[in-house]
Amino acid sequence: MTVPNSTGGLAADVGGTFTDLVGWDGTHVVTGKVPSTTDDQSVGVVGGATGLGMTADRFLHGTTVATNALLEGRGAETALITSPGFADVIEIGRQDRPSLYDSFADRPDPLVARRRRYEASTVADLDADLSEVEAVAVSLLYGYENAERETEIAAALLQRWPELSVSLSSRVVPEFREFERTSTTLINAYLSPEAGSYLRRLVTRAEADGLPGAIEVMRSSGGLMPIAEAALLPAAILLSGPAAGVVAAAAMGNVLGRSRLVSFDMGGTSTDVCRIEDGRPEVLYERPVADYPCRMPSVAIHTVGAGGGSVAWVDGGGSLRVGPRSSGAMPGPACYGHGGTEPAVTDANVALGRIDPQGMLAGSLPIRADLAAAALDTVGGGLGLSTTDTARGIVTVVEEVMAGAIRTVSIEQGADPRQGYLVAFGGAGGLHATALARRLDMAGVIVPPHAGVFSALGLLLSPPRADAAQSVRIENEAELDAEIAAVVAAAAQRLETGGSQPESTAAFVDVRYRGQSHETTVPYAAGEGWEALLARFHATHRERNGFARPDDPVEVVTVRAESVGRPLLSWSDLPEAVPTGTVDLPSRVVLAADGEVTARVVNRSGLAPGDEITGPAVVEETEATTYLAPGERAVVHGSGALEVEW
Give the residue-averaged pLDDT of 195-220: 95
Phi-psi region of 192 (alpha: psi -120 to 50; beta: other; left: phi over 0): alpha
Per-residue confidence at 328, pLDDT binned at 50, 70, 90? confident
Q: Is the pLDDT of residue 208 over 90?
A: yes
What pLDDT score does 499 carry?
A: 92
CA distance 401 to 306: 7
Length of the chain: 646
The mean predicted confidence, pLDDT, of the chain is 92
Quick count: other Cβ atoms within 10 Å of Cβ 73? 11
What pLDDT score does 576 carry?
A: 82
Going from the C-alpha of 199 to that of each of 32, 35, 61, 192, the distances in angstroms are 22, 19, 10, 10
What pLDDT score does 5 carry?
A: 40
% the chain with pLDDT above 90: 79
The residues facing 321 across adjacent strands are 313
Q: What is the pLDDT of residues 243-263, one digit of tens each?
A: 999 999 999 999 999 989 999
What pLDDT score does 330 carry?
A: 81
Question: What single-letter amino acid sits at 615?
Answer: G
Q: What is the pLDDT of residues 379-433, one digit of tens each?
A: 999 899 999 999 999 999 999 999 999 999 999 888 889 989 999 999 899 999 9
CB 24 within 8 A of CB 569: yes
Q: What is the pLDDT of residues 90-118, one digit of tens each?
A: 999 888 777 788 888 888 899 999 999 99
Helix (H) or strand (E) holding 350: helix 345-351
Q: What is the pLDDT of residues 141-195, one digit of tens each?
A: 999 999 999 999 999 999 999 999 999 999 999 999 999 999 999 999 999 999 9
The values of phi and psi at residue 180, to 5°, are -65, -35
CB 455 within 8 A of CB 425: yes
Q: Is the pLDDT of residue 319 over 60?
A: yes
| Position with higher pLDDT, 568 vs 16 | 568
Q: Is the pLDDT of residue 38 over 90?
A: no
- Which residue from 15, 14, 35, 27 is spatially nearest to 54, judged by alpha carbons? 27
Torsion sign over Cα 449, 217, 567, 559: positive
The values of phi and psi at residue 289, to 5°, are -125, 120
Q: Angle 244-253-580 (CA atoms, 0-180°, nearest 5)?
A: 85
CA distance 599 to 325: 32
Give the residue-averaged pLDDT of 457-483: 93
Q: What residue spans of 143-239 are helical by DSSP H?
A: 148-160, 169-172, 178-208, 227-232
Give the residue-averaged pLDDT of 300-312: 92
CA distance 198 to 204: 10
Per-residue confidence at 363, pLDDT binned at 50, 70, 90? low
Q: Which DSSP string do the residues of 293-328 spell out, in sequence order?
A: EE-S-EE--EEES-STTEEEEE-TTS-EEEEEEE-T
Per-residue confidence at 202, pLDDT binned at 50, 70, 90? very high
Separation of CA 394 from chain center: 25
Contacts of 452 (CB under 8 A, 6+ apart): 20, 31, 33, 362, 425, 426, 427, 621, 622, 623, 624
The residues facing 470 across adjacent strands are 559
Going from the C-alpha of 137 to that of each of 152, 183, 239, 481, the distances in angstroms are 13, 9, 21, 32
| Position with higher pLDDT, 46 vs 39 | 46
The residues facing 62 across adjacent strands are 13
Separation of CA 535 from chain center: 32
Contacts of 224 (CB under 8 A, 6+ apart): 1, 60, 216, 217, 218, 459, 462, 463, 464, 465
Per-residue confidence at 269, pLDDT binned at 50, 70, 90? confident
% the chain with pLDDT above 70: 99
What pLDDT score does 6 carry?
A: 46
Q: Which DSSP string do the residues of 63-124 spell out, in sequence order?
A: --HHHHHHHTT----EEEEE-TT-TTHHHH--S--SSTT-TT--PPPPSS-GGGEEE-SSGG
Give the residue-averaged pLDDT of 350-358: 95
What pLDDT score does 1 carry?
A: 40
> Which DSSP category does 412 fall into?
G
Give the residue-averaged pLDDT of 10-17: 90
Helix (H) or strand (E) holding 247: helix 240-256
Q: Domains plus CATH for the chain? A: 465-565 (3.30.1490), 584-645 (no CATH)
CA distance 462 to 564: 9
CB 187 within 8 A of CB 298: no
What pLDDT score does 4 carry?
A: 39
Q: What residue spans of 454-509 are helical by DSSP H?
A: 454-461, 477-497
